Each structure stands twice: as structure tokens, then as C-alpha cells.
Structure 1
Amino acid sequence: MPRTDKASRRIAAPLDRVWAALIEPDALAAWLPPEGMTGRFEHFDARPGGSYRMVLTYSDASDAPGKSNADSDIVEARFTDIVPGERVVHEVDFVSDDPSVAGTMTMTWTVTEADEGTRVDIVAEDVPDGISASDHAEGLASSLQNLATHTEH
């Protein structure tokens, strides 16, 4: 049964810098992949109705085989809502023959000003059953850590 996962973090960077990292492809490719993965975009169009295709490659797939092929997860995503300086909403599908990861996951990234920085909240709705809750929580936390590292300079 699909579920909702959440994560949040306060980042010691101004909201405009954090916001830019959420919608600029070079920044996203740098920080979004969780630890142990790299990412690259095959296309990217950040506007409501726009889309992207991202290939996430495991540095060592022996412990975690990819959902799309032996060493990669490929995601097709659509931007459904972008409110500058507030939130970005993506509908995400894994490219996979595995029915346990089928279905559209909606990810909402919200930024708000916080003491000495920016609060980032992620809500992932309709997470496919084949994505373990603990692995997803670890991945979201890793991406948030990467975002902090990328923007806190």
C-alpha cells in the first residue's frame, strides 16, 4: 500500500540560495543524488508542465541493485506546481519493469525562512511499496545533507 514519507532540515543558507538549488539543473544534479550515487539529467525543463529525466547511478550496485537496470535508477518526472521562493512539486515515476516500484510518487519540496537560514520540508506521497521506508528515509536525509553542503558556503 503506498505511503507518505516526510523529511525536513534547517539549512544555514538564505532562502533564495536554497530555492535556486531546487530548480537549477546543475545544482540539482550535484546535491539530489543520495550518498553512493551520482546523477545526470537527460533533459530538464523547470516550469509547471515541464519535465525531466534523471539517471541516478550507484557507485557500488552490489548492495543495492538499480530499479531500472543493474546499476541505475531512472526517473521520469513532471513539474506540477512551482511557486517561486515557496515550493516545487514533482510527480515522479521510476522507469522499471518491477511492479513494486510502479506508480507515481508526488514529491513536494517547501522552503520557508527560519532562524539564521531556511527550513526545507519534503513530503513524498504515494511512495511505491518496493521502496523501503528506511531506505527512503535515509535517502531523503542524505539529499538534505547534500543540499546543506551545497548551499552553506
Structure 2
Amino acid sequence: MAELTITRLFDAPRELVYAAWTDPDQLARWLGPRGFTGSAVTVDARPGGLWRACITSPDGDEHWMRGVYRELDPPSRIVFGFVWETEGDLRAETLVSIGFADAGGKTEMTFTQRGFPTGGDRDGHHTGWTECFERLAGHLHGKEPR
């Protein structure tokens, strides 16, 4: 099974970066690759709680995703399942682990997603998440993501 790891430094305290992952209003602002919009985000941020979101492409195609939280340790760590619901999307469930480390007032985020059936599936997610994290950086600085 293929695995994806992305490490990113954000110019924001880890409490703010953590909250951007667990507050549905914030998550809707940055979730999705460039040009996508997030909507219908629900979050029950507790072990066993469900999360669900829709991202809409510039062409209007909806892509639904969901999962179950397995671990939450504010503001240090989040672990959750991730699966696409949308017809034609990757339907294998993967496991996402995110660590948030203090870096002198900034946050080093280490994002790992495991369980991709193929390297191609992993590579597609690498592109999508990298663009999401660009939007997250803008969100943390009060800029409207594009």
C-alpha cells in the first residue's frame, strides 16, 4: 500500500492550525484544491465522531468525502479515516495522521495518509493536498483562498 507524507511550516501558532482542521466553518474555507469550493462541512471532533464534506470543482462537479475520527490530542495530533463517497472517485479508505509541532510560534505540520491502493492514487492526493495547504496558509493569514 502506498503512503503520502507532506511536511509544511505555517506562520501561525499550532492552536490556530489545529482549529482550522476541526472547525467546520474554517475547514470549508480552505478544503479542496485550487479553484474548488468547500461546502456542507460537518465535524464531530471526538474519537468515534464523524466528519463529512463536499468540495465542488470549478465545473460544478461535487466530490463528497467522509471519515471517522480515531484520535484527537489538541493541539498536537489528529487521526481520522478518509474515504470518497462520489461515484468514480477513489473508494478505498485511507488513514490520515496529522502532527502539529511548535516551531517558535510557527507550526510544523506533518501530514501522512496511508493505505492508497496504488502509487497513482497517492500521487493524485499529493497534488490535491499540496494545493489545500497553500489555501490553508492563506486562510491562516486572513486571505480568502482561491
**1:1-153 superposed matches below 5 A:** 2-41=1-40, 43-60=42-59, 71-98=61-88, 101-129=90-118, 132-153=121-142
Judged with a 3 Å threshold, the aligned counterparts in structure 2 of structure 1 residues 130 and 39 are, in CA distance, closer, same or farther, namely: farther
After superposition, give the CA deviation of every residue in 1:57-104 in whole Å (9 maximum; x if it has no partner). Answer: 11136xxxxxxxxx1211121111101110111101111444x72221
Judged with a 3 Å threshold, the aligned counterparts in structure 2 of structure 1 residues 130 and 36 are, in CA distance, closer, same or farther, namely: farther
Q: Distance in 1 between matches of 2:67 and 2:120?
A: 17
Judged with a 3 Å threshold, the aligned counterparts in structure 2 of structure 1 residues 8 and 42 are, in CA distance, closer, same or farther, namely: closer
* Equivalent residues of 2:31, 2:55 under 8 A apart: no
Q: Distance in 2 between matches of 1:56 and 1:37?
A: 6
Unmatched tracts of structure 1, length 5 or more: 62-70
Give the root-mean-square deviation of aligned CA atoms: 2.0
Judged with a 3 Å threshold, the aligned counterparts in structure 2 of structure 1 residues 51 and 131 are, in CA distance, closer, same or farther, namely: farther
Aligned residues: 142
What residue identity is the alignment partner of 2:46?
A: R
After superposition, give the CA deviation of every residue in 1:15-51 in whole Å (9 maximum; x if it has no partner). Answer: 1111111111111111121212111135321111100
Unmatched tracts of structure 2, length 5 or more: none
Judged with a 3 Å threshold, the aligned counterparts in structure 2 of structure 1 residues 58 and 128 are, in CA distance, closer, same or farther, namely: farther
